[in-house]
Amino acid sequence: MARVIYGALVTALHGKIGGTVFQRNAYGHTAKNKANMVNPNSAMQESIKRAILQCTQHWSALLQSDRDAWDTYAAAYPQYAKFNPSARLSGYNVYLLRNINSYIFAGYTLDTPDIVSTVAPILAPTLHVVSPTDLELTWNATPSPLYVDCFIFSSPGCTGNRYIGKNSIRFVCGDTMGTGGKNMYDFYMATFNRCPGVGEKVYMEFLLFGDTTGAVYARQKFTLIIT
């Protein structure tokens, strides 16, 4: 989606031309490709709909002091719309961004954020077979993660030059990040019914967010060879 800035002669466009849709929303005038149909009843779509419903209802039930805390956090540590870096998110938007993700993958929401700064570490992850039932993920995070949690997504293992399709990516587990490693064996077995071995490759994504804050960071993506 692109943001459109009009001039003196053309001040607005609405509707569809070919495969491009022109519209106005809260972040200004936009042009975007006509969306491909998405199965509205897929498991993930159902999870997203439940999460949105749960989070919006939960926001309505929050104390005003909790809502004020989200506004304070959003003002103190600004986050911006994904497709418009100049559009600062409100406290309500930050609440939804943080909690829809945590509700989908971990089944909980954060009512009141701590008004503290968190920093997203840069990861350089590795996967190493320690034993037949121990596949150790090492974060190699810089700087060391402090008050940062992570949702881990991965493809199943594959060999050689086989293409890893994005549709094969699954949520594997969540974790409070630390300086040590994490045994991924049981999580791969539960998700894919097998654990990748030495020489195989996996595609992984890491979604980092504040443990007790409203921070949500861009996903870090890697293709890893298991050693």
Q: How far apart are the C-alpha atoms of 52 and 66, rounded to whole Å? A: 19
Domain range annotation of the chain: 2-33, 43-106, 126-225
pLDDT of residue 17: 66
pLDDT band at 56 (very low <50, low <70, confident <90, very high): very high
DSSP 36: P
CATH 2.60.40 fits 126-225, yes or no: yes
pLDDT band at 156 (very low <50, low <70, confident <90, very high): very high
pLDDT in tens, 199-219: 999 999 999 999 999 999 999
- Beta-bridge partners for 36: none
Query: Which comes out higher in pLDDT, residue 53 or 165?
Result: 53
How would DSSP label each residue in 87-152? EEPPHHHHHHHHHHHHHHHHS---SS--------PBP--EEEEEETTEEEEE---BS--SSEEEEE
Give the pLDDT mean for 61-79. Answer: 95
pLDDT of residue 36: 57
| CA angle 120–124–129, rounded 5-degree value | 130
Amino acid letter at 171? F
In this predicted structure, the answer to whether residue 223 has a pLDDT above a threshold of 70 is yes
SS3 20: strand
pLDDT in tens, 96-135: 999 998 898 888 899 999 999 988 899 999 999 999 999 9
Phi and psi torsions of 171, nearest 5°: -70, 130
Helix or strand run (H / E) with residue 30: strand 28-33
